[in-house]
Structure formats: structure tokens, C-alpha cells
Amino acid sequence: MLHKNPNLLMRHISDDDLVRSADGELSSQQAAEVDAHLEACWDCRARMEEVQGAITSFVRAYHADFDAQLPPIAGPRALLRTRLAALASESPREWWKQIFQFGFSSRPVALVCLSLLVAAIGILWLWHAPEEELQSASVFYDAEAAPNRGLTPGATRQVTVNEVCSAPREEVVADVSVSLRQRVFQEYGIADARPEDYEIDYLIAPRLGGTEDLRNLWPEPYRARVWNAHVKDALEERLHEMVCHGQVDLATAQHDIATDWIAAYKKYFHTNKPLPLSS
Amino acid sequence: MPASSYESASLAMPSSMAASARPSRVEQEVMGLFEEFRGPLLRYSLSLGLSIHDAEEVIQEVFLALFRHLHLDRSRRNLRGWLFRVTHNLALKQRLANQISIQRTAEDASVAEKHADPAPGPEEQASAAQRRGHLLAVVEALPEIDQLCLGLRAEGLRYREIATVLGMSLGSVSISLTRSLSRLARADGR
């Protein structure tokens, strides 16, 4: 077999073939030829050892560099498990997807039908919707009222219900430091943020065990007309009260406000729109 | 610190959810892959210049994306390659968002000293640390694509998988690794 490739017999093995041989990336025939050459050629064996040595050194340095930085897996594992459970409960296979999957043989037909359905629903809604509802349609465009869950999943400290309920309000409400505020804006890609445009808000309020952590803070725009910071403050107040009266456990309150604070408001105030704020 | 808040994050799961929701087959599969690949993916994200905090968050997003991927019955072929590819894309996106660039050369000079292997004696330790620091400096001087190829290969990916993750040809992967290893071999003084 070797004689079929005179290059490997007459010349030394190229660096590329040496590396690919070390990595098992050659075809079986090429590998056999390289092995045969290495048996005969001390120069190439020495070069192969250099390659292997470089790989060994790199792998050791790579692991030494990064492994020491890796936190224990327990926390991230628990967080992922929680997020998966939330995601699984949010996204079971919706009935319409199943209809879509089984009811239509081709995607174009399905898309046309869906478009017609959406258009029909839109027309009907516009035709029948009371003016008040049309005005409150801005609800749907208050996109920034909810934080990006990827950037702001919420973070809590270890705290008991007694501690939460016994701390005076002024002890737990803290101003966010300037540097942290800047990092929050940076995370959200907001350049040249004006203080009057945003409040850096805690997703899980400190009085519910939330921490001053990058993952628990997001820039909440004051311009949000419906679901704004004042409404969220009312929810925090409500949840704090309910936790302290034993009507909701602390973990549930933290979870609900972190998952979707607007949904939590609707759930705990039994309403689909914010109640008038008491002055 | 990310670790503490990750640990405390489990507090946010209501007890009712913990008790009633038995993880689905897909959730179990995702958690199994998380156990196996969190370390390699974190290292790879760190090699892209992310902070550990950002890297942890990227990995969480990757596995949530994996859940959606599997939940929709999409291809299970080469999930390792899929994980690295998605990690690569999300990490780059995060890096762009943070507007950070890889400027770890100065830090790396001290990394070897900080994380020296405790087993050898002080002199051997200092010597090994010095060598490692030197090697890391050589790695830092490589083009970024070469560093990424090395990192992915160190995590066990085959050339074809590396090519897919980085969007380059098989031949380019081979050339990149050969070039890098030649420089490392020279730096290693072997």
C-alpha cells in the first residue's frame, strides 16, 4: 500500500498530515501509510512527538485557565430545572398547532388559511370592540413593560418570611448604584439613556427577597402607559401583604413576579387591567 | 456573584410546582445533556471572552433553546455539534451586546500563577505556571479563529463538527489547527 503513495516514502510527512494523523482524521489508507512512514523515519517521529506534546500542553493550560473559573453546577442546574418546568407548562403543544400539523397537507395552504382566519378575527374585533378597549390596545404595545427574561430572570437571596415581613420598608428599598445602572442599560443595549426615561427596577422586589443583582434589574420605561412602574409597585405591595398574611408562600410570590409580573398582577388583583392607583 | 444567586434561584420555584410537575422525557433529556456539556460549553464561552456570569446565562439560554428544539421533534442528529453551534452564536451575540473585545492577554499572564496545580513542589509549580503562562500568551497571539478551533478540538469536536460550528471548510479547520500546533510546539520548546 505504501508504494502507491511515493510521496510518503520519498518525502517526510507534511505537518498537516501529522496533525490529522494525531487527530484520527485521515482515511484508513492514509493512516496506514503515515504509520508505516513513522516506523521508518525518526525525523517524522520526533515531529509527531512535538505535535503530541503541543496538544498535551495546550489541553493542560486550557483546563487550568478555565476550569478554576467554573462555579459549582448545583445552582445553575436548579435554575435550569425551574426554567424548563416553567417553559414546559407554558408551551404544551397548542391545539392549533396540532390541527395545523394534521389538518393541512401542505404548508402554503395552511398559511393562507391562517392568514384568512387572523384577518377575519381582526375585522370582527375592530367591528365590535368598545372604544375603551381600543384605547387600551396600547397594552399590547407596551413591550418594554416586561423585562427580557433571558437578561433578567430574577435573583433572590436566602431569606425567611419572618425576615421579609419584619424588615421596615426603608431598610430594603435601596437605590441602585450608578455603575450597576450603567451595566443594566448596557445589557439591554440602551445607549445614552436619560434618567427621566427609565426607572431601573427590581424584578423581584427587595422586600420579597430580591437582590441587587444584574439579573434582577431591568430598565423599566416611564413611557409605558398601562403596565408601568407604579402598577408594578402596587403588585409588590400586594404580594408582600399576602406573603405576610400567609395567603401566598414566598417562593410562589417570587416565582410569579419573576415569570411574568403582568400576569401576576392580573392573577392577584383579579383584573385584566391595572386598577386606579390610590394616591 | 452569579453562583450565589443561581443557588438561591431555586427558591423561586413554588413548592406546588416542584411537587406536582414531573419532568417530561424532553426535560430529563435536556437535564442529562446539561450535566454532560455545561462544563465544555462554559469553557468555550469563556474562551470567547465572556465573563463567567454572561457565560452561565448563555448556557442557560442554550439549553432552553435545546428544550424547544427537542420539544418540536427536530433533529437529534449530532446534538453535541448543535449545542456548540448555538453556544457559539449566542455567545457572540452576547459579546456584541456587551461591546467587549477579547483583551485577556494581561489577565492571562497571572492566570497560571493564580490557578497553579497544587501537586508539584514550589519550584516545579513556579516553572509549570511560567510555562503555562507563556503558552497561553502564544495562544492569545493567535488569530481568534485559530483559538476557537483549538478550543473546540480540546473539547473533543471532530474537524467536521468544528467546521459546522464556525462556518468554515474542513480544509480550513485542518490548516488552522496545523498552524496553531506548530506555533505551540515551537513555544513549548520541544
Q: In whole angstroms, what is the distance from residue A25 CA to residue B51 CA?
A: 33
Please tell me which of the candidates B39, B47, B153 has its beta carbon nearest to residue A70.
B39
pLDDT tier at B2 (50, 70, 90 boundaries)?
very low
User: Mean pLDDT in chain A?
Assistant: 77
> Within a domain: residue A74?
no
A270 sits in the region (left: phi over 0; alpha: psi -120 to 50; else beta) called left
Same domain, A238 and A161: yes
Q: Locate A16 and state its grid cell.
A: 498537516
* pLDDT at position B81 over 90: yes
Question: Does A211 share its domain with A120?
Answer: no
Task: Verify that A34 and A122 share a domain, yes or no.
Answer: no
Higher pLDDT, A226 or A169: A226
The structural domains of chain B, ordered by start, are 23-102 (1.10.1740)
Grid coordinates given for B53:
456570569
**Of residues B26, B159, B181, nearest to A51 (C-beta):** B181
* Statement to judge: residues A32 and A102 lie in one domain: no
Chain A contact set for B184 (CB, 8 A): 54, 57-58
Question: Residues A191, A234: one domain?
Answer: yes
Cβ-based contacts of A158 with chain B (< 8 Å): 8, 11
d(CA A43, CA A13): 10
Complete DSSP assignment for A169-201? HHHH--PPPHHHHHHHHHHTT--S--TTTEEEE
| Domain end marker among A63, A80, A112 | A63
- Domain annotation covers residue A73: no
Q: Quick one: average pLDDT of A123-147?
A: 53
Confirm whether A105 is domain-assigned.
yes
**Domain annotation covers residue A245:** yes
Q: Pick from B6, B39, B182: which is nearest to A75 by CB? A: B6
**Cα angle for residues A251, A255, A259 (degrees, 5° grid):** 175
Is the pLDDT reported for residue A154 higher than 80? yes
Domain membership of residue A20 as a residue range: 2-63
In a domain, A277, yes or no: no
Q: Does residue A150 share a domain with residue A265? A: yes
- Does B49 touch chain A if contact means CB atoms closer than 8 Å? no
Average pLDDT over residues B109-127: 54
pLDDT: is B167 or B126 the higher one? B167
Q: Which of B2, B14, B61 sits opposite A255 (nearest CB)?
A: B14
Higher pLDDT, A154 or B17: A154
H-assigned helices in chain B: 2-9, 15-20, 25-47, 52-71, 79-98, 105-114, 122-141, 144-154, 159-166, 170-188
Q: For residue A136, tell me if it sits in a domain.
A: no
Mean pLDDT to the nearest integer, A32-41: 93
CA angle A123, A124, A127 (to 5 degrees): 85
Q: CA-based diameter of chain A, in Å?
A: 94
Question: What pLDDT is stored for residue B107 in this prediction?
Answer: 53
- Residue-level pLDDT at A93: 53
Looking up cell 403582568 gives A262
**Is B150 an interface residue toward A (CB < 8 Å)?**
yes
How many Å apart are CA B67 and CA B27, to the nearest integer?
7
Give the pLDDT band of residue A126 (cuts 50, 70, 90): low
B158 has a pLDDT exceeding 60: yes
Indicate the burial class of B101 (C-beta count within 10 angstroms; 0-12, 13-18, 19 or more). exposed
Q: Which of A42, A63, A84 lies at the terminal end of a domain, its last residue? A: A63
The total number of structural domains that make up chain A: 3
Residue A102 lies inside a defined structural domain of this protein: yes
**Sign of the torsion angle spanned by Cα atoms A143, A144, A149, A155:** negative
- Whole-structure pTM value: 0.52
Q: Are residues A118 and A156 in the same domain?
A: no
DSSP string spanning B129-172?
HHHHHHHHHHHHHS-HHHHHHHHHHHTT--HHHHHHHHT--HHH
Looking at the fold, whether A221 and A260 belong to one and the same domain comes out as yes
- Asked whether the predicted pLDDT for residue B20 surpasses 70, the reply is no
Residue B2: list chain A partners with CB under 8 A.
71, 75, 215
In this prediction, residues B9-13 reach a mean pLDDT of 39
Q: pLDDT-based confidence at B124, cuts 50/70/90?
A: low
- State whether A168 and A111 are in the same domain: no
Report residue A91's pLDDT band, with 50, 70 and 90 as the boundaries.
low
Residue A176: inside a domain: yes
Final residue in a domain of this structure, among A63, A78, A111 = A63
Residues contacting residue B107 through CB under 8 Å, at least 6 positions apart: none
Please state the φ and ψ torsions of residue A201, each to the nearest 5 degrees.
Answer: -110, 150
Claim to verify: residue A257 and residue A160 sit in the same structural domain: yes
> How does residue B5 score in pLDDT terms, banded at 50, 70 and 90?
very low
Cell 509549580 maps to which residue? B125
Per-residue pLDDT, averaged over A66-80, amounts to 90
Please report the ipTM that was assigned to this predicted complex: 0.73
Same domain, A116 and A148: no
What are the pLDDT digits (tens) for A195-233?
A: 667 778 888 888 888 888 888 888 887 667 777 777 888
Span A15-34, average pLDDT: 92
Residue A106 shares a structural domain with residue A156 = no
The residues near A67 (Cβ < 8 Å, ≥ 6 apart) are B39, B43, B115
User: Is the pLDDT assigned to residue B54 strictly greater than 60?
Assistant: yes
Task: Give A278 or A178, the one with higher predicted confidence.
Answer: A178
- pLDDT (tens digit per residue) in B136-147: 888 999 999 999
The larger pLDDT score, comparing residue A227 to residue A270, is at A270
Nearest CA in chain A to B1: A213
Instruction: State the alpha helices, DSSP H only, in chain A.
Output: 6-10, 15-22, 28-40, 42-67, 74-90, 95-103, 107-128, 131-135, 161-166, 169-172, 178-187, 229-244, 250-259, 261-269
- The nearest CA of chain A is from the CA of B189 a distance in Å of 9
- Please state the rounded mean pLDDT for residues B67-80: 89
